[in-house]
Amino acid sequence: MAKYVYNFTEGNRNLKDLLGGKGANLAEMVNLGLPVPHGFTITTDACRHYLAEGSVPAGLDQEVAGHLKALESEMGRKLGQADDPLLVSVRSGAKFSMPGMMETVLNIGLNDESVHGLAKQSGGNERFAWDSYRRLIQMFGKTVLGIDGDLFEQALDELKGRRQDTDLSAPELQQLVETYKGVVREQTGKDFPSDPREQMRLAVMAVFDSWNAPRAILYRRQERIPADLGTAVNIMAMVFGNYGNDSGTGVAFTRDPGSGRQGIYGDYLQNAQGEDVVAGIRNTIPLEDLEHLDKPSYDQLVGIMETLENHYRDLCDIEFTIEHGKLWMLQTRVGKRTAAAAFCIATQLVDQGLITMDEAVTRVTGDQLANLMFPRFDANAEKKKIAKGMNASPGAAVGKAVFSSERAVELSSQGEEVILVRRETNPDDLAGMIAAKGILTSRGGKTSHAAVVARGMGKTCVCGAEELEVLTAEHRFIAPGDVVVSEGDVISIDGTTGEIFLGEVPVVDSAVVEYFEGAQEPVDGFDGAQELEDDLVRAVDRIMRHADQARRLGVRANADTPDDAARARRFGGQGIGLCRTEHMFLGERRQLVEDLVLATTDGARQAALDALEPLQKADFIGIFQAMEGDPVTIRLIDPPLHEFLPDIVELSIKAATGQATDKDRKLLTAVKRLDEQNPMLGLRGVRLGLVIPGLFAMQVRAIAQAAAEVPGARPEIMIPLVAAVQELESVREEAVKILADAGVSALIGTMIEVPRAALTAAQIAESAEFFSFGTNDLTQMAWGFSRDDVESAFFSRYLDLGIFGVSPFETIDREGVGRLMRIAVEEGRSARPDLHLGICGEHGGDPDSVHFCHDIGLDYVSCSPFRIPVARLEAGRAALTNTTSDTR
């Protein structure tokens, strides 16, 4: 029979798929002999079954009952037993951590009888017992019964007045329990379920259901977590941090998740239960101060942190609770960190002898590197600093202040850049956090919800700026000195320093970009920030060098101008994989293009071509010079014709209102003749070259002459949009002659961007010395939709329905488009073993797609100059990992 429940003693950290991250790591801690409360895990299999069938799998109830019985006998108490109750928590926990996105219910097992038993058990601590009971109804009401949490919060706030929750007396809390029960009755028409087993059963299903809560779906999409994994459920004996001042609860990191530095990082809250720390209900104390409150627990915790780091060989984050001076570990995982910390930690672990350089490369991602290349604030600019908070997630963000998630979404959809300002965030703010450029909160530490989620998303965040008074309802905040910032006012926040500025602060290149540019200079007079920056640049340098040694894929650039070409070289590009020639026909040269299109005689057409040729030649000379002997793949013109010709509507209006000149009228006739219903499937690429005699020949001649003038130039001529070998052959024949006349040698190849070309690659390879996959068009034609037309129309629906995991224009669709590519690679190489293969679609800079290109054996990827470092790193990672699809 299928096994759906595992005791913590049965699992280990490799079982994340089955037990979720939380369950697998709890089991691992048990295996390490750390103090973990007893418990068991219901598998993700059970969840998937429940979500698919609408009911739990047969046998699950009995299996859970069996494990509960074992737990009860281990603890010497029965769940919810009136005079001496066992209480449990029911906790979600998926394979990939989704902080706060799913549900957890604490204190299951309390009711009107067992609350007295709990008080007795605690030596007569009535206050504690009623506090635990009201927490149960509150959490259960919100997460299991779906009652608006504000109703409970309001009742609590009313009772508290200006006091803190810890100031409430036992009778007051008892009264609050009655109020809460009233809320439950009013909202659901039923009484709060008093049967402990029923509470547990309902909570388990609520955790399963929370996998498909809107915010969880949104988070998964943002983080590219597959939609079909499901969550495990952990059932664990409660331990209590809310017993009194010798108890408490906290979170910790084994190193600074912001910088990677070793040390004691975390927050602790006395007399509190789990959620209180991250929810920011009271101000936490820094973890170091626990040493003065409870030295033995503190020392034990520091020892455990070291054990965990050495065991996981990585930064870990930890949840713990102290009950009457006894330390309990409640969770650990390899912790989220900023991009900068990821690089620093990876190299530090190498220096500590915990991991190899190969592993270090796999510990960082291209997305993290891209994140480090974002601009930062100009240190020399004039700024008006209004406050400082905690540097929770780095970056420089400028935008209009908004005070609600809804408003953030609304303004950003209108193209505005916004900073989401909240007292603290909660999981319901996720949509606004995604929409915002940056996040600013006045409460909560580096482990608060805002900080954790922002770091995960690589979004700038300043949190816990306590000097700010955030008046959410009034849409404004007040900074020291009575500076009032209202909705719509522009602010700038620096997630690296925690500073908050009024107005827009100009930004400059990041230190990492300066490093790639070769312009990073040591700065006199060390300050903390500079030191961090130097650490980071050194770490990036080491990792990039190692990735370059390891990778098999070459990395080239998509670059059309000498400036871009030069940057591409500085960033480590090994040539140009796509030099488009269309833009060379724009601007002042448009006139010549019009002449070309209007030409009705051979003479007129040749005159237009003759005028264009020297201009083209000069363009190519510039690029060859910038590339200093590296290969340059030049694509012959592939214009979307409609973008080149004068606007048909404008001309028609001119004609209709009698304002058209003679030339306008001729143009209109020509434009009408060339007007297409579907330009993307129209007269483009090689087709145009075959229809306008002399056009391609002119370009090839310009290339040949330019190459002849620049010593070492290595042109490669690429024919776009070929679907049949015959198209290629006729262009090739002409080009070969022109090159021979000029005494220049160049490879001649083709784009593979039409499905037919992929499917007839063996034939095409007879005439092509290289292939370059144009995956934008290939995706478009394989799926039968054009990106510009449909992306906003139905992509989000397709993502919801799971038809895409991610847009196929962002990441290569391996099954469809990828299959066409595989066929082309195989067939092409079978016909011509030394066929050179690359990709020049935008996918060339996408991490997952780079791994795919490595897998299918391409020789290089080509991407925009700014993505080159990302592609180099991912190519290195691809060579060093066996896991091909998981680039997280």
Q: Is 284 in the site for ligand ADP (CB under 6 A)?
A: no
Q: Is 89 in the site for ligand ADP (CB under 6 A)?
A: yes
Q: Is 330 in the site for ligand ADP (CB under 6 A)?
A: yes
Q: Is 319 in the site for ligand ADP (CB under 6 A)?
A: yes
Smallest gap from Cβ 697 to Mg ion, in A, equals 21
- Number of Cβ within a 10 Å radius of residue 186: 10
Residue with the two structure tokens 């299959």 = 819
Q: Which residues contact 408 (CB under 8 A, 6 or more apart)?
A: 402, 418, 420, 431, 432, 433, 435, 436
| CA angle 671–676–679, rounded 5-degree value | 115
Q: Is 275 in the site for ligand ADP (CB under 6 A)?
A: yes
Residue 840 is among the residues annotated as catalytic for this protein: yes
Q: Which residues contact 711 (CB under 8 A, 6 or more apart)?
A: none
DSSP secondary structure, 399-444, as one string: EEEE-SHHHHHHHHHTT--EEEEESS--GGGHHHHHHSSEEEESS-
Active-site choice (463, 840, 853, 863): 840
Active-site choice (49, 449, 836, 854): 449
User: Footprint of Mg ion on residues 711-750 (CB under 5 A)?
Assistant: none
- Indicate the residue among 13 and 617 with the shorter CB distance to ligand ADP: 13
368 binds, among Mg ion, ligand ADP, none (CB under 5 to 8 A by kind): none
Closest residue (Cβ) to Mg ion?
777
CA nearest to 6, candidates 38, 48, 33: 38
238 binds, among ligand ADP, Mg ion, none (CB under 5 to 8 A by kind): ligand ADP
Q: Is 457 in the site for ligand ADP (CB under 6 A)?
A: no
- Indicate the residue among 107 and 772 with the shorter CB distance to ligand ADP: 107
Smallest gap from Cβ 466 to ligand ADP, in A, equals 22
- With residues binned 3-state (H G I as helix, E B as strand, rest as coil), the percentages for the chain, rounded to 5, are 50, 20, 30
- Indicate the residue among 323 and 358 with the shorter CB distance to ligand ADP: 323
* Number of residues forming the site for ligand ADP (CB under 6 A): 17
* CA separation, residue 485 to residues 468, 492, 496 (Å): 10, 12, 22
Determine contact, residues 621/709, Cβ cutoff 8 Å: yes
Smallest gap from Cβ 346 to ligand ADP, in A, equals 26
- Indicate the residue among 85 and 394 with the shorter CB distance to ligand ADP: 85
What are the phi and psi torsion angles at 785 (to 5°)?
-140, 150
DSSP secondary structure, 453-464, as one string: HHHHHT-EEEE-
Give the 3-state secondary structure of residue 236: strand
371 binds, among ligand ADP, Mg ion, none (CB under 5 to 8 A by kind): none
CA nearest to 863, candidates 272, 370, 249: 370
Smallest gap from Cβ 511 to Mg ion, in A, equals 34
- Pick left, alpha or beta for residue 721 (phi over 0 → left; psi -120 to 50 → alpha; otherwise beta): left
- Indicate the residue among 314 and 319 with the shorter CB distance to ligand ADP: 319
Q: In the set 91, 215, 407, 814, which binds ligand ADP (CB under 6 A)?
A: 91
- Output b/e per residue, 829-839; b: 16+ Cβ within 10 A: bebbeebbbbb
Stretch that binds ligand ADP, among 86-94, 155-163, 256-264, 440-448 (CB under 6 A): 86-94
Q: Is 41 in the site for ligand ADP (CB under 6 A)?
A: no
774 binds, among Mg ion, ligand ADP, none (CB under 5 to 8 A by kind): Mg ion
Stretch that binds ligand ADP, among 89-97, 414-422, 558-566, 820-828 (CB under 6 A): 89-97
777 binds, among Mg ion, ligand ADP, none (CB under 5 to 8 A by kind): Mg ion
Q: In the set 753, 827, 846, 874, which binds Mg ion (CB under 5 A)?
A: 753
Stretch that binds ligand ADP, among 85-93, 296-304, 440-448, 763-771 (CB under 6 A): 85-93
Smallest gap from Cβ 753 to Mg ion, in A, equals 5
Gyration radius of the chain over CA positions:
32
Q: In the set 25, 43, 44, 104, which binds ligand ADP (CB under 6 A)?
A: 104
User: Footprint of Mg ion on residues 773-832 (CB under 5 A)?
Assistant: 774, 777
Determine contact, residues 291/275, Cβ cutoff 8 Å: no
What residues form DSSP beta bridges with 451? none
Between helix 662-674 and helix 648-656 the angle, nearest 10°, is: 140
Q: Is 331 in the site for ligand ADP (CB under 6 A)?
A: yes
Q: In the set 100, 266, 395, 456, which binds ligand ADP (CB under 6 A)?
A: 100
Q: Is 395 in the site for ligand ADP (CB under 6 A)?
A: no
535 binds, among ligand ADP, Mg ion, none (CB under 5 to 8 A by kind): none
- Indicate the residue among 75 and 747 with the shorter CB distance to ligand ADP: 75
574 binds, among ligand ADP, Mg ion, none (CB under 5 to 8 A by kind): none
- Indicate the residue among 275 and 595 with the shorter CB distance to ligand ADP: 275
DSSP secondary structure code for residue 8 in this structure: G
- Indicate the residue among 239 and 739 with the shorter CB distance to ligand ADP: 239
Own/partner pairs, 815-821, CB within 8 angstroms, 24+ separation = 816/782, 816/783, 817/775, 817/778, 817/779, 817/782, 817/783, 818/852, 818/856, 820/755, 820/758, 820/759, 820/778, 820/782, 821/752, 821/758, 821/773, 821/775, 821/778, 821/856
Q: Is 321 in the site for ligand ADP (CB under 6 A)?
A: yes
Smallest gap from Cβ 800 to ligand ADP, in A, equals 24
Smallest gap from Cβ 419 to ligand ADP, in A, equals 26
Smallest gap from Cβ 620 to ligand ADP, in A, equals 58
What are the phi and psi torsion angles at 840 (to 5°)?
-130, 10
Smallest gap from Cβ 131 to ligand ADP, in A, equals 13
Q: Is 106 in the site for ligand ADP (CB under 6 A)?
A: yes
CA nearest to 465, candidates 402, 388, 392, 403: 388
* CA separation, residue 560 to residues 702, 869, 874 (Å): 15, 19, 24
Smallest gap from Cβ 423 to Mg ion, in A, equals 22
Q: Is 37 in the site for ligand ADP (CB under 6 A)?
A: yes
What residues form DSSP beta bridges with 402? 420
- Indicate the residue among 330 and 721 with the shorter CB distance to ligand ADP: 330
What are the phi and psi torsion angles at 263 (to 5°)?
155, -170
Q: Is 564 in the site for Mg ion (CB under 5 A)?
A: no
Q: Which residues contact 437 (CB under 8 A, 6 or more apart)?
A: 397, 398, 399, 417, 418, 419, 459, 460
Smallest gap from Cβ 475 to Mg ion, in A, equals 32
Q: Which residues contact 72 (CB under 8 A, 6 or more apart)?
A: 78, 79, 86
> What's the CA gap between 525 and 534, in Å, rounded?
13
User: Footprint of Mg ion on residues 145-204 (CB under 5 A)?
Assistant: none
Q: Pattern of binders to ligand ADP over 229-248, x per CB under 6 A? A: -------xxxx---------
What residues form DSSP beta bridges with 749? 718
Determine contact, residues 358/546, Cβ cutoff 8 Å: yes
- Indicate the residue among 562 and 679 with the shorter CB distance to Mg ion: 679
Closest residue (Cβ) to ligand ADP?
274
330 binds, among ligand ADP, Mg ion, none (CB under 5 to 8 A by kind): ligand ADP
What residues form DSSP beta bridges with 441? 422
- Indicate the residue among 106 and 870 with the shorter CB distance to ligand ADP: 106
Smallest gap from Cβ 100 to ligand ADP, in A, equals 5
CA nearest to 359, candidates 412, 313, 409: 313
Residues noted as catalytic: 449, 840
| Contacting positions for ligand ADP (CB under 6 A) | 37, 89, 91-92, 100, 104, 106, 236-239, 274-275, 319, 321, 330-331
List interacting residues with Mg ion (CB under 5 A). 331, 753, 774, 777
